[in-house]
């Protein structure tokens, strides 16, 4: 059975993704900044590991502890909701550290092995909706960037 590593599994989509793949019989590595064993059903298929995607040492330790990974889900992220001009720059920087550089760091950590095994990296970019919401201007910038990066990872020889 394949192994999936999910970042930001303590809540929301990450937690539900971990729950879903466990129910389908996958080996699930649910990673969290503050690991909690009580969030998901007890299972021999489940491992909960500490991981902060903005911390290189944390990434290194998690990848080493995880072993071979078939699927990486870059779910960990911070949202930006509110008027762009009212969003403090420190928060915007934190969003990019997590949602952009954190994703890049995770991809770098697993991509070499994945390419050898012809596997993919999913930056979880949500590039779908075309409407630009003024309240989400900072977030949209991230999504556009993530969409371009997704294309570049899938087709490394082509321009994004
Ligand atoms: N919900 C939406 O409508 C929506 C729309 C578009 C995109 N997204 C994206 O989808 C993803 C999940 O969203 P959600 O709604 O499920 O949010 P959520 O419930 O707030 O979950 C975010 C997860 O990311 C984790 N996280 C934050 N910073 C981290 C870091 N530095 N290292 C590791 N984990 C970190 C959080 O962990 P802690 O518990 O430690 O804080 C939490 O587990 C996010 O990337 C979000 O930007 C969501």
Where along the chain do its domains lie?
Answer: 3-154
Ligand 1 center from residue 91 Cα (angstroms): 14
**Atom 39 of ligand 1, nearest CA residue:** 10
- Topology of 3-154 in CATH? Rossmann fold (3.40.50)
**Atom 18 of ligand 1, nearest CA residue:** 12
Residue 25 is classified by DSSP as T
Which atom of ligand 1 is found nearest the CA of 76?
24
Residue 54 structure tokens: 């903005």
Confidence band of 28 (pLDDT split at 50, 70, 90): very high
**Atom 7 of ligand 1, nearest CA residue:** 126
CA dihedral 89, 90, 91, 95 (to 10 degrees): 100
Which atom of ligand 1 is found nearest the CA of 15?
43
pLDDT tens track for 86-141: 999 999 999 999 999 999 999 999 987 777 776 655 555 433 223 333 444 555 55
pTM score: 0.84
């Amino acid at each position: 059975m394949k192994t999936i590593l999910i970042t930001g599994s303590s809540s929301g989509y990450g937690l539900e993704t971990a729950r879903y793949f466990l129910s389908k019989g996958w080996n699930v590595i649910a990673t969290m900044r503050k690991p909690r064993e009580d969030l998901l059903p007890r299972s021999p298929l489940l491992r909960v590991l500490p991981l902060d995607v903005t911390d290189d040492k944390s990434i290194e330790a998690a990848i080493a502890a995880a072993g071979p990974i078939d699927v990486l889900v870059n779910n960990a992220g911070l949202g930006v909701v509110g008027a762009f001009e009212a969003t403090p720059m420190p928060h915007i920087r934190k969003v990019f550290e997590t949602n952009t550089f954190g994703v890049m760091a995770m991809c770098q950590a697993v991509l070499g092995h994945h390419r050898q095994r012809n596997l993919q990296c999913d930056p979880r970019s949500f590039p779908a909706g075309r409407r630009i919401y003024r309240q989400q201007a900072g977030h949209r910038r991230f999504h556009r960037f993530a969409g371009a990066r997704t294309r570049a990872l899938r087709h490394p020889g082509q321009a994004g």
